[in-house]
Amino acid sequence: MARMIRPLANLYEQLRRLPGVGSKTAMRLAYHIIDMPEGEVRQLASALMGAKDSIHYCTRCFNLTDGDLCSVCADSARDRHTICVVEQPQDIAAMERSHGYNGLYHVLHGVLSPLDGIGPDKLRIRELFLRLQQEDISEIIIATNSDVEGEATATYLAQLLKPVGITVSRIAHGLPMGGDLEYADEVTLSKALENRRAM
């Protein structure tokens, strides 16, 4: 028994491909799954296929949805004049948890990353401009991450949007709430100073 039996090895290899799952975790999960009641394994497998089969992108904003429009686009109570541009669907989930935004979204599904061969045509930028023609939008809030690629994408989008004549804003960067000045990193602190507001 130098090698694992084939169905176990197969399960191990499939689990091993998931992000953050190393060889020990994959092994532990594989043995756990073999010990699970058959019904539970079946539920897990069908949850996998169910999610993959029924979830696709909202035809308007490219958020995840199991219908035609996502729950935000379909919600008539939302402000239809503002679009918040994010990198990924999970960013929308984070924004929604904050309860601080009541407008629409647009998911780019990535950021500009020339080294990885991701140019503007790989992102949902064309679709964003199509929305600007079809919808009555007065402000675009760019909420890409504050890493190098996110900042570059934000700058690129802002330049592209300038001729359109819409207010373009960027979410604020500064000290996190409850954060100690003493422990803030230099970049965040200088950003917080630079972005100071009159009060």
> Which residues in this chain contact its own copies in the complex, by CB under 8 A?
1-2, 4-8, 10-11, 13-15, 17-20, 25, 27-34, 36, 38, 40-55, 63-66, 70-72, 75, 88-90, 92-93, 96
Smallest distance, its own copies to C-beta of residue 196, A: 33
Which C-beta is closer to its own copies: that of 14 or that of 138?
A: 14
Q: Which is nearer to its own copies, 89 or 150 (CB)?
A: 89
CA 53, 68, 110: angle at the middle one, nearest 5?
A: 70
The Cα 38–Cα 45 span in angstroms is: 11
C-beta of 37: minimal distance to its own copies in Å?
A: 9
Contact partners, residue 144, CB within 8 Å, separation at least 6: 85, 86, 87, 108, 111, 150, 151, 153, 154
Which residue's CB is nearer to its own copies, number 25 or number 159?
Answer: 25
Shorter beta-carbon distance to its own copies: residue 75 or 147 = 75
* 137 contacts: CB under 8 Å, gap ≥ 6: 81, 82, 83, 131, 166
